[in-house]
Amino acid sequence: MDPPSFLYLLLFPAQKMMKVGKANNIYNRIQSLKRVWGDVDYAHSYRIALPQSEVFKLEKMLHFLLAKYQTGIDAGDGYTELFSIEALEPAIKHIHYVIEHGVINAQLLQGIEKPQLRPGKSAAHRHAEMKKRSDTMISNVVTVTEQFSRINRLLLILLFKQHRLRYQYDIEGNTILFRVADNRTDQRDVHKIMRMFSFFIEDFRYMGGTNYCSGVFGEGTVTQYNVELISGDPDAHPLVAYLASQTERLFNKLPSRSALLMEDLPILESSRILRSVLQSEDEA
Domain boundaries, the chain: 4-110, 123-283
Report the C-alpha gap between 182 and 167 in whole angstroms.
9
Instruction: Quick: pLDDT tens for 54-88.
Output: 999 999 999 999 999 999 888 888 889 999 999 99
Tell me the whole-structure pTM to 2 decimals: 0.52
* Number of residues that this document lists for the chain: 284
Instruction: Quick: pLDDT tens for 28-60.
Output: 999 999 889 999 999 999 999 999 889 999 999
> Residue 63 burial (CB < 10 Å; 0-12/13-18/19+)?
middle
- What's the rounded mean pLDDT across residues 202-216? 83
Handedness of CA 135, 137, 142, 146 (dihedral sign): positive
- What's the rounded mean pLDDT across residues 142-148? 92
| pLDDT of 277 over the 50 cut | no
Q: Which residues are registered as beta bridge partners of 158?
A: none
Q: Which residues are registered as beta bridge partners of 179?
A: 168, 224
- What's the rounded mean pLDDT across residues 195-222? 85
Instruction: Quick: pLDDT tens for 87-101.
Output: 999 999 999 999 998
Q: Which residues contact 206 (CB under 8 A, 6 or more apart)?
A: 237
pLDDT of residue 19: 95
Query: 12-41: b or e for each residue (b if 16 or more CB lie within 10 Å)?
Result: beebebbbbbbbeebeebbeebeeebeebe
